[in-house]
Amino acid sequence: MYFYAARQPILDKEKKLFAYELLFRDSIINVFPDVDADEATTKMIEASNFNLGISEFTGNKSAFINFTLETLVQGYPETLTTEEVVVEVLETIKPGKRLLAICKDLNEKGYTIALDDYIHQPVWRHFYPFIHIIKVDWQDTTIDTIKAVKLAIADFPHIKLLAEKVETYDEYNQAVELGFELFQGFFFAKPEMVKTKSLSPSQIAMAELLYETSQKELDLASITSVFERDVTLSYKLLRYANSAIFKRRNEISTIKQALVTLGSAELKRFLGLMFAANINPEKPSELINTAMARAKFCELMSSEVTKPIDSSIAFLTGLLSLIDAIVDEDLASILAKLPLAQEIKDTLLTRKGILAALIILLEFIEHAEWSKTAAVMQKLGLEKEHVIRHYNEAIAWADEQATANY
């Protein structure tokens, strides 16, 4: 069995990853309103304990999980450790003595408690000593209400405000000014502004290499020449090729030897990751992580579609599917600067074809839009179990790469 869930990142003011919210569904083809909330939470806990552990899905970060009153009464939060879970009290639960007693007990046991989609009422003041995070729907809450909430919690400095459904950088900056410390939404995955910038020598070198490695026949002499012109890139290549994951008898001492050791597929993966991770170091690391997960997912799915796709092309296309957000520039302008295979450019610009459909499928999964996900899977002739398995594998692989930080 697999987690039928999407994970959405929660970032801090520095745009660093704080936690994930796990958005559960009974299966990938179910829309949430058709699933009982108690059942959804129960199956999430079951999956996390007996199938794929939450820590495997969220790395070393906590998971925000929705709990209904019934699942709180049943003590389900305590089946997870205080480090693994943030207990999210659903907005459908009315504040009362029973819920207050549960929150007090969980707080005393060391659990972090968040109020989901908070609707401001004076009665919640009784809960403030025991809760730690208040989630405010940015799209559905007025500035005056936010100011009232801030005033109400002024005597409880341990409470953090989390702005959810933040979709643009303007909204993010406004939330920061209002005192929010945590943020959830896809503002970080959209270009901050359209602007023109030049690429550094290392970035140009990597772009050249991406082009060279997107060709069916590799020109080893040309690739070696590009590496030899960039000391930093050569160092990273040699360090990576010398790592323990590659079986070899002798230490590597030349660029050509390193390239031969890696082989075509691993070289393409290495270059793609290097390009994405270094092209804009000011961007949230979670954005790069998402791009990596997309790359791996496309690579894994390339042989599953009705018309198989070259896995290296699929990997690079998935990786570059967020390049406009990473660079903060119009997509067409970016691609005009990169000497990429036309197949990759056409896929990203027109969003047509099988590979583009895989990227659209990923976007729906990331947003937990399961009915749209089902429609794309049906169009591509994909089995939902295969999609979820590969999505989970891609997430785990991307987290592993981020931890390795090569």
Interatomic CA distance for residues 274 and 264, integer angstroms = 15
Q: Which pLDDT does position 34 carry in this prediction?
A: 43
pLDDT per residue rounded down to tens, the chain (406 residues)? 455 577 889 999 988 999 999 876 544 443 333 444 555 545 554 544 434 456 667 777 898 988 888 889 988 888 888 998 999 998 888 999 999 999 999 999 999 999 999 999 999 999 999 999 999 999 999 999 999 999 999 999 999 999 999 998 899 999 999 999 999 998 888 776 544 455 566 667 777 777 777 666 778 888 888 887 777 777 777 777 766 666 655 666 678 888 888 888 788 777 776 776 666 666 777 888 898 899 889 989 988 887 888 887 888 889 889 888 887 788 888 888 776 778 888 999 999 999 999 999 999 988 888 888 888 998 888 988 889 889 988 988 888 776 655 4
Q: Give the pairing type, strands 62-67 and 85-89.
A: parallel
Q: How many CB atoms lie within 10 A of CB 286?
A: 22
Encoded amino acid at 234, one letter? S
Q: Which pLDDT does position 201 carry in this prediction?
A: 62
Interatomic CA distance for residues 21 and 66, integer angstroms = 9
Dihedral pair phi/psi, residue 183, rounded to 5°: -145, 135
Give the pLDDT confidence of 45-89 residue by residue, as tens digits: 454 443 445 666 777 789 898 888 888 998 888 888 899 899 999
Give the pLDDT confidence of 103-113 residue by residue, as tens digits: 999 999 999 99
CA torsion through residues 264, 266, 272, 278, sign: negative
Distant-in-sequence, close-in-space partners of 240: CB < 8 Å, separation ≥ 6:
258, 262, 270, 406
DSSP 133: E
The answer, as to whether pTM is greater than 0.85, is no
> Where do the domains of the chain lie, and which CATH numbers do they carry?
5-189 (3.20.20.450), 201-404 (no CATH)
Interatomic CA distance for residues 368 and 22, integer angstroms = 10
